[in-house]
Amino acid sequence: MNLERAYGTLLRLYPYDFKALFALDMLSSFEQESAERRRQSRLALQHFVVREFFGVLIGAGEEWIAKVTTDRWVRGRYLPDLRMMRPPGVRRELWFPRTCLKTTPASLPDEVIDRS
């Protein structure tokens, strides 16, 4: 298992919303810095990897603690759930059909409305 794959596996320890926003940037930074440390020396690479892996373990633990203990109304700790957000360009009526059916069924396309 190479270092980048191991680091990517460790990133799975973070809460979903944190991973969705930061995992790709964290992995990219790790890859760039590990390539730089490989050019320096083996000892520099080992020191960097140990420090980063422990940093991920501690950081993931801190994020979970913050997520569990912080009041839900504190926006800085609760990042948006990207699985629930409507994608750009998709009309609200198509993404949330149950909610919209109760209010304005006439405005929905025929393929969305069940007329049986």
Please count the other Cβ atoms lying within 10 Å of the Cβ belonging to residue 18.
20
Identify whether 76 is part of a domain. no
Question: Which one has a higher pLDDT value, 12 or 75?
Answer: 12
Q: What does the pLDDT read at residue 109?
A: 64
Measured CA to CA, the distance from residue 38 to residue 18 in angstroms comes to 29
Same structural domain for residues 14 and 58? Answer: yes
pLDDT number for residue 85 = 72
Domain with 107, as residue range(s), is 86-116
Task: Tell me, yes or no, whether 40 and 11 share the same domain.
Answer: yes
Question: Phi-psi region for residue 78, left (φ > 0), alpha (ψ -120 to 50) or beta?
Answer: beta
Verify that 64 and 14 share a domain, yes or no: yes
pLDDT over 70 at 98, yes or no: no
Please say if the pLDDT value at position 113 is more than 80: no
Are both 13 and 59 inside the same structural domain?
yes
- Residues 63 and 8 reside in one and the same domain: yes
Asked whether residue 78 is domain-assigned, the answer is: no
Residues 93 and 39 in one domain: no
Residue 76: is its pLDDT beyond 60? no
Residues 114 and 63 in one domain: no
The DSSP symbol for 105 reads G
Whether 57 and 28 map to the same domain: the answer is yes
Nearest-angstrom CA–CA distance, 31 and 5: 10
pTM over 0.85: no
Most confident of 7-21, 39-53, 72-86, 97-111: 39-53
Claim to verify: residue 27 and residue 65 sit in the same structural domain = yes
